[in-house]
Every structure is written in structure tokens, then in C-alpha cells.
Amino acid sequence: MPAYRRALITGASGGIGAAFARQLPKTTALLLTGRDRQRLDNLACRLAQRGHAVETFAADLTREAERDSLIERADAFGIDLLINNAGAGRFGRFLDSPAEVERDTVLLNVVAVVDLTRRLLPGMLARARGERRRAGLIIVGSAAGFAPVPMFATYAASKVFDLQFTEALAEELHNEAIDVVALLPGPTRTGFGPRAGWRGAAIPGAADADDVAADGLAALGKKTVCVAGRLSGAALAPVLAPRRLVAGALGMAMRFVAGRQ
């Protein structure tokens, strides 16, 4: 992994975002953002005790004005590593989910990713060229983005976007001083499931968030797509099967799971 001086991590209040903050070396100053100010400050305090330079910025990235403020702060901070990790989704039938929840899933998983990336990349690239260093961009997608997932329809579709957006960007920027990675975790032990409405037991074999973050950082400069976690082989299986059959099979499985909750 190249040495980065300053990183912005979105969705850093917990889970994989907080794991990225823990995995980056003390030589990388951190700008952490998320919705939960208290959890951000608690994480910043723990990291500061370990020698990290940390700033926090509480923001709801579904809101344009708050994205504007974060982008201004990140540019002033002088980031050379952007980790677009913030994400949300709702488990259940699409028509049973509130319209605003589905809308906010797209705003956070798609619109915020595009907005932050488009507006922060020019400064990152200029600094990288001027300092003869490499910048870095990680967009956290999901293994769910490999196939349509009934009961998680909007979330999975948004992660398809994240994957293809990152792959296209990596090709467009291959002559620039930046490394681009799409990190696609399989099931991971975080608070995402309960927040999404999943009331079932933890999935056996789910990965540790710190391992997923470490995989993503290690992929910088080496690969464009990194499927992380012990279930990554299973996650790739849908790519090899006809998409309609996959959707039908996943629909049956997810309806079965929903009926048992």
C-alpha cells in the first residue's frame, strides 16, 4: 500500500469504516465522517490515544448541503486517499419499505459516491502530481452487487452501480497518479444487518470488519476489484450463472428467510 498523508473515510462511525481508520498507519491523518457525532468522537479519542491525528465531521450525506460542507472541509484538509464507505439498505419487500428509505439508499450509495468522487478527485490528482506521489480511491460496494437480490432490491442494485462506476473510473484514470479499488465485502460482522431490518442470526463464516478493511487497503496499486471475506468464493458464483435463474433462486431463499423472522 502506498503511503498516504491524509484520508477521508465516510461512514466511519462503525463497521468497516471504523475498521479502515484502525487499519491505516499513524502517519496518515484522518478525517472521519458519519451521522453519529458521539460515535465518531469516541472513535477519534481511541485513535488519538494510539497516536493518530484525527478530525471528525458529522454529516448526513443524503443531504446536498452537508455534502457541500464535507467536500469543502476535505479539500482544505488536503486528502490524498478517499474511502467512500458509507452505505445503507433495507431488508424486505420493496413495496413494504417506506419510499423515503429507498430514496435515501440511492442518495447515499450512488449520488453521494458520485458527488464526493467527482468533486474531490481534481484536488487529489493535482496534489499527487505536484508532490510526485500517488493518491488512492476505494469505493466500498458489496458482493450483493454481483446479482439481483430480491428483498434487498435497491441496495443490491446500488452496489451494481458502485462496482461498474469504479471499474470505469479505474480505466479512465489508469494514466493518472491514483490507484482505484472497488472493495466488495461478502457477509461481514457489523451493525449493518440490524440497521437494515435483518432480525435473523449472524451468518456463519461472516468476515471480521478489520480483515475486510485490510484487504481493501492491500489491494491499492495491485487490483481494481477486491472481493473480501471468507465467503468470497460463494459470492462469485452468481457471475457464472444465468441472471434470471439467480434472481429466482435468491428470491426463494430470501422469502424463506423473511418468513422465519
Is 155 tagged catalytic? yes
Neighbours of 205 (CB within 10 A): 11
Check: CB of residue 202 under 8 Å from CB of residue 189: yes
For cell 449493518, the residue is: 192
What is residue 243's predicted lDDT score, i.e. its pLDDT? Answer: 45
Structural domain spans, the chain:
6-259
Fold assignment, 6-259: Rossmann fold (3.40.50)
- For residue 30, which amino acid is it? L
Residue with cell 491499492: 220
What is the model's pLDDT at position 201? 44
Tell how strand 207-208 and strand 225-228 pair up: unpaired
Q: pLDDT tens digit string along 41-76? A: 999 999 999 999 999 999 999 999 999 999 999 999
Catalytic residue among 146, 155, 165, 192: 155
Q: What is the pTM of this model?
A: 0.86
Q: Each residue of 129-156: b (16+ CB within 10 Å) or e? A: eeeeebbbbbbbbbbbbbbbbbbbbbbb
Beta-bridged to residue 182, according to DSSP, are 139, 225
Confidence of residue 204 (pLDDT cuts 50, 70, 90): low
Q: What is the mean pLDDT of the chain?
A: 87
